[in-house]
């Protein structure tokens, strides 16, 4: 097996990240390194020779450097996709510093720490592509979503600065911001709200809510050479949700 | 949790002007709205590790009915 591309994915055990890993492993010239906590959810992926599971809790940001040293020592990545994310509904009155810290740790700090390591020549190729999953909520607001919206906005700023810092190596950095996609994250969210509210949210997506692959094909494009002039952008993919 | 303490917590978080009793109908409070429902869901999740669903919120009336949703065995 001659591996030409190594791609690192966080959140590879569920939803969008898992769907992306399932697509990428079909190309035997690509080796996918998937970070997650619960491998039970990806038994199908574990059978692939070109899929490597890294069981790691992203709350442990301070251990990320060691993860690179111990498990990714001589790998040069040509792509990184940060799909891991926490979504929660909590009004401001209940948002303690610890809770804010938690959501920012997984959604933002873990990505910054991974990229701090990944941006070294030792771990990445020139012309690599880094993609961060933000959300339409990175630019919009919703009651109860302070932690989520603030953290997704933070990713937008991070991506813009990073794109400039890494431009001299022609490494591209972009955000992908989906509307509601049918994944376990959405299923959990829908459980918490009333039927009426659910139909209202679905109805706000003019061409319906998305499937994981709708987003995955955009990520595939951003990972590839065809998007080599695209950097520092936030690409919304939301069935028309945010144009209203 | 002690029921009196729970009443005080709900009263504080919802910033109620009036008194709160187990027999008070939450939905009839002036302060009741979708934000209040959200606060209640967050409070119950923090304190009891119980996640109330949208349907639970729909069916709750009095504080007593909320206590029953959480589980009466959790109260003294
Ligand atoms: N679904 C949507 O409607 C939607 C809309 C806009 C944006 N997004 C964004 O798109 C991304 C993917 O969403 P999704 O719907 O695919 O979510 P999902 O199904 O809930 O999956 C979330 C992933 O994050 C991982 N994760 C969470 N906490 C972690 C931790 N502490 N350590 C390691 N991994 C952790 C989970 O891994 P384990 O389960 O193994 O812990 C899981 O693989 C997220 O950033 C989300 O905010 C989603």
Average pLDDT for consecutive 10-residue bins of chain A (244 residues)?
A: 85 98 97 97 96 98 98 96 96 95 98 98 97 98 96 98 98 98 94 86 96 98 98 98 96
List chain A residues with CB under 8 Å of B43. 94
- Longest CA–CA span in chain A (Å) reads 55
Q: Could you tell me where the beta strands, DSSP code E, fall in A59-194? A: 77-82, 124-133, 172-178
A100 touches chain B (CB under 8 A): no
A241 counts as catalytic:
no
Q: According to the model, what pLDDT value does residue A191 have?
A: 86
pLDDT score at A2:
61
Strand partners of residue A234: A175
Return the residue whose CA atom lies nearest to atom 1 of ligand 1.
A181
Full residue range of the structural domain in which residue B62 is found: 3-74
CATH no. of A5-180+212-238: 3.40.50.720
Q: Which residues of A touch B55 (CB under 8 A)?
A: 194-195
**Which pLDDT tens digit goes with each residue over B13-28?**
999 999 999 999 999 9
Asked if A82 and A65 count as a contact pair (C-beta separation under 8 A), the reply is: no
Contact call for residues A124 and A118 (beta carbons, < 8 A): yes
Q: Which of residues 163-192 of A touch B (CB under 8 A)?
A: 191-192
| Residue A79, phi then psi, degrees to nearest 5 | -160, 150
Q: Which of A34, A30, A32 is nearest to A3 (CA)?
A: A30
Residue A128, token pair as written in the block = 């690599």
What's the whole-model pTM score?
0.94
Give residue A138's pLDDT.
Answer: 98
Q: How far apart are CA A125 and CA A106, in angstroms?
A: 25
Tell me, what's the pLDDT at A50? 97
What does the pLDDT read at residue A3?
67
Instruction: List, as one string, the DSSP characters of A184-236.
Output: HHHHHHHHTS-HHHHHHHHHTSTT--B-HHHHHHHHHHHHSGGGTT--S-EEE
**Choice among A33, A148, A217, A241 that is catalytic:** A148
Ligand 1 centroid to residue A84 C-alpha, Å: 4
Give the total number of structural domains in chain B. 1
Q: What is the pLDDT of residue A197?
A: 85
B1-57 confidence digits (pLDDT tens): 999 999 999 999 999 999 999 999 999 999 999 899 999 999 999 999 999 998 899
Predicted local distance difference test score (pLDDT) of residue B76: 85
A22/A228 Cα distance (integer angstroms): 23
Q: What is the CATH number of the domain that holds B12?
A: 1.10.1200.10
Contacts of A121 (CB under 8 A, 6+ apart): A169
Whole-number Å distance between alpha carbons of A218 and A233:
13
CB burial of residue A97 (10 Å; 0-12, 13-18, 19+): exposed
Ligand 1 pocket member A149 (CB < 6 A): no
Nearest by Cα to B30 from B50, B45, B15, B12: B15
ipTM over 0.90: no
Q: What is the pLDDT of residue A1?
A: 52
| Chain A CB within 8 Å of residue B9 CB | no
Cβ–Cβ contact B70 with A under 8 A: no
Whether residue B41 contacts residue A144, with contact meaning beta carbons closer than 8 Å, is answered with no
- Contacts of residue A145 in chain B, CB cutoff 8 Å? none
Q: Are A45 and A56 in contact (CB under 8 A)?
A: no
Distance CA A8, CA A10 (A): 7
Contacts of A40 (CB under 8 A, 6+ apart): none
Cβ neighbours for B55, distance < 8 A, ≥ 6 positions apart: A194, A195
Q: Ligand 1, residues A11, A55, A58, A108: which to mutate, most atoms within 8 A of Cβ?
A: A11
């Amino acid at each position: 097996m001659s591996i030409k591309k190594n791609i690192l994915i966080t959140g590879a055990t569920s939803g969008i990240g898992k769907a992306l890993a399932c697509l990428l492993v079909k190309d035997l010239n690509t080796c996918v390194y998937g970070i997650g906590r619960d491998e039970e959810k990806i038994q199908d992926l574990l059978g692939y020779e070109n899929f490597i599971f890294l069981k790691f809790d992203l709350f442990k940001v301070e251990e990320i450097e060691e993860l690179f040293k111990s498990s990714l020592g001589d790998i040069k990545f040509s792509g990184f996709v940060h799909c891991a994310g926490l979504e929660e509904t909590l009004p401001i009155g209940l948002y303690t510093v610890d809770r804010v810290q938690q959501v920012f740790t997984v959604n933002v700090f873990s990505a910054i720490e991974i990229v701090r390591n990944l941006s070294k020549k030792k771990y990445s190729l020139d012309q690599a592509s880094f993609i961060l999953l933000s959300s339409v909520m990175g630019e919009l607001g919703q009651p109860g979503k302070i932690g989520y919206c603030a953290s997704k906005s933070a990713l937008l700023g991070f991506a813009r600065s990073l794109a400039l810092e890494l431009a001299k190596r022609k490494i591209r950095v972009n955000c992908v911001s989906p509307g509601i996609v049918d994944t376990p994250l959405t299923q959990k969210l829908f459980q918490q709200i009333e039927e009426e509210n659910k139909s209202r949210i679905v109805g706000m997506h003019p061409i319906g809510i998305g499937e994981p692959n709708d987003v995955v094909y955009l990520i595939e494009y951003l990972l590839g050479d065809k998007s080599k002039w695209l950097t520092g952008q936030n690409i919304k993919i939301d069935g028309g949700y945010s144009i209203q | 949790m002690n029921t009196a303490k729970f009443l005080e917590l709900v009263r504080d978080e919802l910033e109620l002007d009036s008194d709160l009793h187990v027999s008070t109908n939450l939905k009839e409070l002036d302060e009741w709205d979708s934000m209040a429902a959200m606060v209640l869901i967050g409070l119950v999740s923090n304190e009891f590790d119980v996640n109330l669903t949208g349907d639970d919120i729909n069916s709750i009336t009095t504080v007593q009915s909320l206590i029953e949703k959480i589980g009466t065995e959790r109260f003294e």
